[in-house]
Amino acid sequence: MADWPVTLHSFGDIHYFYGPPTNNPPHHRFDKGSYVYLFENANDRRARIEIANHPGTDDQDAFDGFLDKTHVQYTYNHQCMVTLTVGETTDQMEWHLPTYDPQNQNKYHYKLHSLDIYFWKQEDALQFVNGIRRVLPPAQVEVLDEPAQPSHHHSHHQADPVSAVVQQLEHAAISDPHYGSPQQPQQQAPVSFAGPPTSAVPAQQEPPASFVPMAYNPAAPAAPEAIRHREKTPPPEDGGVDPLAAAVAYDAQAPF
């Protein structure tokens, strides 16, 4: 079917209802890990869905159906769930899925009343809803709590306060005489620097300024004494003259 390209191939958990969900007890079935396919025909502005349950197992079953009379509901508060409410159909093969009867005794081919598709990814749910919105009338697609898209006019008004602040800062910078004025540095005394010597021979230098000694401060600590290391005295030779005897002999020779 070249006119019906696949626009979505995803995974989801499906809650099927064979009667109104408000019935107590409800007649329903729940299948996890189902394959969800969405086909679109842009020329005829139609869409078709196929869902395969329990693929690759003995319990595998599937159904398909056109969305011509189906109501689609999606809310951003439940970002992965899409609800399909099936309309009237004349084809007994469309929108029919086998399940047990309410007494859970025998399995029959029942027509679906509605189904909740819990996509595994939020982007898949959005792609599914946006694909249907492209081809179905707006009255059949109900999207709730959709965030408002920021308009260009709104963005322009948001940028106005910033522009006003920038303009005020620029005006203050221009009107301030101390900001960026080239005349302010000229009012100060210029700093002169000595140029390089013109000759290798130093010119006659002026006598240095007279030296003024620092005032005496009696509270200042005294300068440390220079440390002088004495020479090492060799020990007296053994067997020499006794110093005490020499002193006594010297005193005896002194005249009185």
Residue 36's CATH number: 2.30.29.30
Three-class DSSP labels, 88-147:
CCCCCCCCEEEEECCCCCCEEEEECCEEEEEECCHHHHHHHHHHHHHHCCHHHEEEECCC
- pLDDT tens digit string along 151-166? 655 555 554 555 666 6
Mean pLDDT of 239-256: 66
Residue 204 to residues 71, 113, 194, 199, 201, Cα–Cα distance (Å): 110, 117, 17, 12, 9
Residue 116 to residues 23, 60, 168, 220, Cα–Cα distance (Å): 16, 19, 57, 98
Say how many C-beta atoms besides its own lie within 10 A of residue 100's C-beta. 13
- In the numeric block, the tokens 């899925």 are attached to 97
Residue 77 domain-assigned (yes or no): yes
Residue 139 domain-assigned (yes or no): yes
| pLDDT the model gives residue 246 | 72
**Residue pair 115/84 in contact by the 8 Å Cβ criterion:** yes
| Number of folded domains that form the chain | 1
Check pLDDT > 80 for residue 231. no
Residue 45 domain-assigned (yes or no): yes
Residue 75 domain-assigned (yes or no): yes
Between 141 and 155, the more confident residue is 141
Residue 34 domain-assigned (yes or no): yes
**Residue pair 38/117 in contact by the 8 Å Cβ criterion:** no
Note if the pTM is more than 0.75: no
| pLDDT the model gives residue 29 | 96
CA distance 67 to 41: 11
Residue 91 domain-assigned (yes or no): yes
- In the numeric block, the tokens 């409800």 are attached to 26
Check pLDDT > 70 for residue 26. yes
Closest by CA position to 86, among listed 107, 60, 115: 115
| pLDDT the model gives residue 92 | 85
Closest by CA position to 27, among listed 108, 102, 113: 102
Q: What values do phi and psi take at 144, rounded to 5? A: -105, 150
- pLDDT tens digit string along 157-214? 554 555 666 666 666 666 656 555 555 555 555 555 555 555 545 555 555 555 566 6
| pLDDT the model gives residue 197 | 56
Residue 86 domain-assigned (yes or no): yes
Cis ω before 25 (30° cut-off from 0)? yes
Residues 6+ apart with CB under 8 A from 149: none
Residues 6+ apart with CB under 8 A from 4: 39, 40, 41, 48
- Which domain range does residue 125 map to? 6-144
* Span of 76-85, 116-125, 202-211, 236-245 with lowest mean pLDDT: 202-211
What would you measure as the largest C-alpha separation in the chain, in angstroms? 167
Residue 51 domain-assigned (yes or no): yes
